[in-house]
Structures are given as C-alpha cells and as structure tokens.
Amino acid sequence: MLSVRNVSFSYENGSHALNDVSLEIERGEFVCIIGHNGSGKSTLAKMFNGLLLPTSGSVIVDGMDTADDEKMLDIRRLVGIVFQNPDNQIVTTVVREDVAFGPENLGVPTDEMIVRVDEALAAVGMESYAESAPHMLSGGQKQRIAIAGMLAMEPQVLILDEATAMLDPMGRKDILRIVRDLNKEKGITVVMITQYMEEAVGTDRMIVINDGSIAMDGTPEAIFARGDELRAIGLDVPPAVELRELLKKREIADCGDAMTLEELSSSLCRSLLKN
C-alpha cells in the first residue's frame, strides 16, 4: 500500500531529516513508527500523502508516485493524516459541518455526505455532539472529531502524526482504542507516529527511526526485547517491559514477553504459583 524507496530529505536550511530510507507497508497493517524528537519520523509521515516530497528517492501510494502532480488528489483521497494539535484542523463552528468539510471539497453528493458524516461520528463515539461547537470540546473530543473528518473522506490509510501528544493518558487510551477498532473492523491501514513507547503495544509492527534512518523494524515483542539498544539511542521500553526485565534480572520471575501491566500481573501470578 505504501512504498518508500531510498528516500532522503533535506530542509531548505540544509538539515538532513531522512537518509536513504526504504520500507514497505502492506494493506491493512497497523504500524507504529517510534523515534525521539528530531529523528525524522514526522517528516516521513508527511511523505505518505505528499505534504512533503523526497529530495531523492520516491514514495509510492497504491501504485501512484507522490511526485506526480496529476495523482496528488487521488493520493490524498486514499491517505488521511491527523496531526498533533486538533485545533489546527478544525475549520468550522459546528461539529457536523467540520466533519463534512473534507468530503464536500471532494465533491461528494449531499445525500452520500450526510451518511458519511453520521457514520464517521458514530465510529469515534461523537454522534451526540454533532451540533456542538468544536471549541467547547475537550482535547480528546476534538481529536476524535479530527479523526471523524478523515474517516468521512473514506481513506484507505490513516496517518496519525503524534496525534495523541497533547492528550492526557485517558485521552490517549481512548484514541488508541478507536484507531485499533478502525484497523480491525474496517481494514484501514494505520501508521501511527509517536514518542510514547507504550502506544506500540498491540500493533502489528514497530519501526524505530534514529537520526533519519531506520534503526529497527519488527514486531513490538521483538524490538522491546532489545531494551539496551533502545536506551542507547535515547528511547526506552514501556513500564511493564521495564518491570519485566527487572524481575528477570533479579531472578524473581520470568514473565516471558508480557508487555502490559495486565499481562505482567497474570504472568507473574502463574510464575509465583509454580514456585
């Protein structure tokens, strides 16, 4: 679905954001891209729907090159992107109108647009706020509206560019649940850019970006097992994984590949009962 081929990117000030990056993302995958500030992960996110074009190399979306101006509208119909600050994506004073903004600009007929808006709001649990003023909503609710606006355009790929960064832990949890449901139930390909390691738990694949290059690529289980390597590039592991490592190091219990506190608790109980 998404193909990044030997992509490098430099900003006008000469700083290099990406260095010969290549990766493939399959249709229906849920991929988490992790990296510290300035690693190049958000630059890569903007490549997926042509907001930025490579300095060299190419980005192919469902067979279409993002450098092809004639394909740009088709690419942006396929790939929706939600950014960190939902206030920057809200353009009207009524929730329903805001969600309708994208499909309206795509020329979707009115009857179909109404259905799309209702379905998108229902998908993010915001149907009861359809007539509300967006500026009166919480940060998490605004981000749900931003996601609904993308869903109403019926994208095949949803990019979340640090979309949970401004939310509290409960807000982050709600957004992640919604996105996971969209991936599993609607088959939407999801690429989530984040600094929060725990957000990678439960995804199909985790890509670690460091200094503009891919440092690691694999399942979350495989990558979190390389905790020392992650720490060496300024990252960390989720709290549950860190506790798991400590329990094993001190020979208290071997909790396998548990990655959440719930999994760790269950594994720890089983381990202690055996002893």
Token output for 151: 């869903």
pLDDT value, residue 171: 83
Distance CA(131)–CA(206), nearest Å, equals 38
pLDDT value, residue 261: 77
pLDDT value, residue 15: 85
CATH code for 2-236? Answer: 3.40.50.300
pLDDT value, residue 214: 96
pLDDT value, residue 275: 59
Token output for 212: 């503009």
Distance CA(234)–CA(111), nearest Å, equals 51
3-state secondary structure of 218: strand
Token output for 211: 């200094």
Beta-carbon contacts of residue 233 (< 8 Å; ≥ 6 apart) = 36, 208, 210, 215
Q: Where are the domains of the chain?
A: 2-236, 238-275
- The series of mean pLDDT values per 10 residues for the chain, 275 residues long, is 96 89 96 92 93 96 96 91 87 93 89 93 92 91 90 92 85 87 92 90 94 95 92 89 82 77 78 67
Per DSSP, the chain holds a count of helices (H) and strands (E) of 10, 10
3-state secondary structure of 117: helix
List alpha helices for 2-86, DSSP H.
41-47, 72-78
Specify the pairing of strand 64-65 against strand 213-218: unpaired
